[in-house]
Amino acid sequence: MKILINSKISQEHVEKIISGFPAVEVVQTENPQEAEKFVRDADVLITWWSNFQVAFLDSPRLRWVHALSAGVDGFLLPSILEGKVLLTNSRGIHGIPISEHVFALMLAFSRGLNHFARHQAQKKWQRVTLTELRGKTLGIVGMGSIGSEIARLGAAFGMRVMAVKRSPGPAPEGVNRVVGTEGMEMVLKESDYLVLAVPLTPETRGMIGAAQLEQMKPTAVLINIARGEVVQEEQLVAALQQGVIAGAGLDVFETEPLPADSPLWQLENCIITPHCAALSPQYMTRAIDLFCRNLDAFLQGEPMPTLVDPGRGY
């Protein structure tokens, strides 16, 4: 079996795969064009969605693509949708860094750090109104591994946690109430902080628009660490400019990098981070560990831990 890794990866991580599976051959390149040549005789491809090329799926030997990301919207092409090539993702490894990023954004708003950063640049000594997270309502849309970790931290901060889940069941750790999508309006109306943690699917694309933003409290803050297309960006800009909601912490955008002429850059009630919420020195170690679990299951003919259902998109 030949495995092609189309990503920057340390030799230590390559050796981890080889030592665990001595019979496999591992080839690595960061260059997508070079990878297009190597993939012709590869059985398995490990790659980022940003490196993924449609032509990779023309390989007659390719049996499985492993996404180094959790989101797989960029991989859902005919060969995968038809089940000719298996797709696994790296869900489950993002909870720690992304949940900490979410709380960094929430704390920045509650403790005025977005204002103080600007004041510091202007050498201006000026206080602003500050609040606390304790006692506030945290709404989480999407309760996968990331949403669950955000909920756990929310409970630790003394927040009331509500969650929207496609298939609601018993409330997981730290969650006061779980509702289905029919309960979305209630969560929008009651949340002081609304966190979007859903995969991008036809159902979630554009799910937050003018109508949803108008249902939120004027003091509420929207946090998006899902995908930019989950939010109708033009409507969000208008809501922030008009004070429909108090603020937004955004790590993802409809177009990335965020264009220089986007009005979001100029809004004082918007904190922008460059799609980096998942970044961590531990990321690749966790990703390769997860890939090895999938590889072991694949070779044993057992269910793969993070096999994607192409029909659902996650």
CB 59 within 8 Å of CB 109: no
Provide the pairing of β-strand 2-6 with 25-28. parallel
CB 272 within 8 Å of CB 255: no
227 is catalytic: yes
CB 74 within 8 Å of CB 65: no
SS3 158: coil
Q: Which of 256, 268, 286, 312 is catalytic?
A: 256
Q: Which of 170, 168, 202, 194 is nearest to 182 (CA)?
A: 168
Task: For tokens 């996404």, name the residue.
Answer: 67
256 is catalytic: yes
Q: How many angstroms separate the Cα of 264 from the Cα of each of 8, 38, 162, 231?
A: 31, 41, 28, 13
CB 85 within 8 Å of CB 63: yes
Give start and end residues of each alpha helix (H) in the chain: 11-20, 32-38, 78-81, 95-110, 113-121, 145-156, 184-190, 210-215, 233-242, 283-300
Q: Which of 275, 293, 302, 312 is catalytic?
A: 275
Q: What is the dihedral of CA 264, 218, 95, 29, to 10 degrees?
A: -10
What residues are labeled active site? 227, 256, 275
